[in-house]
Amino acid sequence: MSEPYQIDPNTEEPAPPFQVLDLDGSLRQTPTHLPSDLELQDSYRLMRFVRLLDEQFLNAQRQGRISFYGTCTGQEAAVLGSALALETGDSCVQALREGAAALLRGYSLVSYVNQVFGNQDDVTFGRQMPCHYTDAKNGHLSLSSPVANQVPQAVGMAYAEKVKGTDRVVMSYMGDGGTAEADFHIAMNFAVLWKAPVVFVCQNNQWAISTPVQEQSATPTIAERSAAYNMPGIRVDGNDLLAVYDACKEAVKRAREGHGPAFIEALTYRVGPHSTSDDPSRYRDEDVTKTWATKRDPIDRLKLYLLSKGLLTEDEDSAMSDTFTAKIKSHMSKAENLSPPEKWSLFTDVFAETPHHLRRQASEAGIEIPDHPPRPSSPDAPASRPWAPSTK
């Protein structure tokens, strides 16, 4: 792994996080692992796309069209840089802001939008809150709404792969607030004891809803906690896609080779509210937020790098906003106009065969359950990757 972050006991301030890209898009150092040119171009386009997607869904919630939404604005590099390090067959266990990881790994945008609206084509029949995406085909597990509840689940999944003798790796996400939960510490301990092939990625966006990270932990960083479990840990610049990828790729490689778990703290900032239920101006200095949004934006940094490498032109970049926004609105319009899930779906999916008592309850409610209840299916992703460049 790239040189682990080390705390200097003689200083009060932690050393800077591992960084590959400077703020001006130039390379500070040559990384051990670098995405291909095509991966970089695709990741950048998806970062731009997700930024606009989040804006549209945030507006939709404010208009009363959806119930809830959590954006990843300002954190796109941490999400996509980490997910890019995984391979086909690996699994990803998300927290609130990793929907873009699912899209990168093959989750259909059609399914993504249907899930947020909870309509008849939502594969979970509208039973989950928005942003709880699940895609078994591409190894993406829905988050659990209780904070950090998904972290022990990820360890169990990874240990199962070890028992089965596969070389698959599980990536588990959490926020800085999640590391204050008992589930986090339990997961870290068992991951090391079992030498489970799991990579923990903490998006430290410095706010657990309204609680700043300084009030959550007495340690200067979150990454250093891994030492207590005899686990490698590193703190990276979470707004630097190349740094996140480099650290995660090495951690994934290490886990795949049977060397056990690793912990990565991606230092970033939550530019937007915690969710649509939150008003961050009530508890934080929004001048600090403005600085992160304007001077440390992960999209701007990667754009400068791609421009310098000839992998992007200003004209291509300028054309993305209108094109992507139009496609997003089209998908949202289609999803919004679909009917809600069938009422009989309240009684299905609990048992392989719907038992008598559930059929009786449905009958008493005036609902008829089909003999073979149909399930919505997720379309193939290639038909729904509107951020990809045109092949015409």
Pairing type for strands 207-208 and 211-212 reads: antiparallel
Catalytic residue chosen out of the listed positions 48, 105, 254, 270: 270
Choose, from 65, 283, 360, 375, the residue flagged as catalytic.
Answer: 283
| Residues contacting 276, CB < 8 A, separation 6+ | 58, 61, 62, 68, 69, 70
> Are 332 and 270 a contacting pair, CB within 8 Å?
no
385 is catalytic: no
- Distances, alpha carbon 132 to alpha carbons 97, 215, 361, 363, in Å: 10, 28, 28, 31
274 is catalytic: yes
355 vs 104: CA distance, rounded Å: 39
- What dihedral angle (degrees, nearest 10) is formed by the CA atoms of 141, 39, 97, 187? 50
Phi first, then psi, for residue 168 (nearest 5°) are -75, 150
Count CA within 13 A, CB hemisphere, residue 270.
28
Separation CA 292–CA 74 (nearest Å): 8
- Active-site choice (274, 296, 301, 385): 274
Annotated active-site residue 33? The verdict is no
DSSP state of 218: S
Nearest to 317 by CA among 45, 16, 11, 32: 45
Catalytic residue positions, numbered: 270, 274, 283
